[in-house]
Amino acid sequence: MQLIYFVLVIIALTVYSLKQHGYQLPLFINNFLNDLLCLPIVLGIITRVIQFLKKDSEFKLPIGFIICLATYYSIYFEYYQPRVNNRYTSDWIDVLLYFIGGFSYFFISRYKTNKKSI
């Protein structure tokens, strides 16, 4: 599972770096990929920190927390930030991608737990 998170972080950093250096990327990658990867990466980090602090390697974030974080990101980055900073634009597809990423994280982390117990 750590390899998956490492790969996701490398992909997100690569996309960000290429965009910063003016490379022309395909539309989906340029506009949406990092929004899709954002919550799985953030949730993975939060999970690892809590596991470390609680000394509980089996700790999993509850679905309610994941939904709240996806809602927060949606409101903050797609409603609030576009109103106060011209760099941001509001896009309902990004909201959908935050939730897809969050639910993907939830199901993949649960699949890993269920598979381990078999």
Q: Scanning the structure block, which residue is given the tokens 């974080």?
A: 69
Q: Of 33-42, 46-55, 63-72, 109-118, where does mean pLDDT reach its minimum?
A: 109-118
Q: What is the identity of the amino acid at 58?
A: E
Question: Cβ distance 44 to 2 under 8 Å?
Answer: no
Closest CA to 107 of 23, 48, 14, 39: 39
Question: Which tens digits make up the pLDDT trace of 17-53?
Answer: 999 999 999 989 988 999 999 999 999 999 999 999 9
pLDDT at 116 over 80: no
pLDDT at 118 over 50: no
Confidence (pTM): 0.86
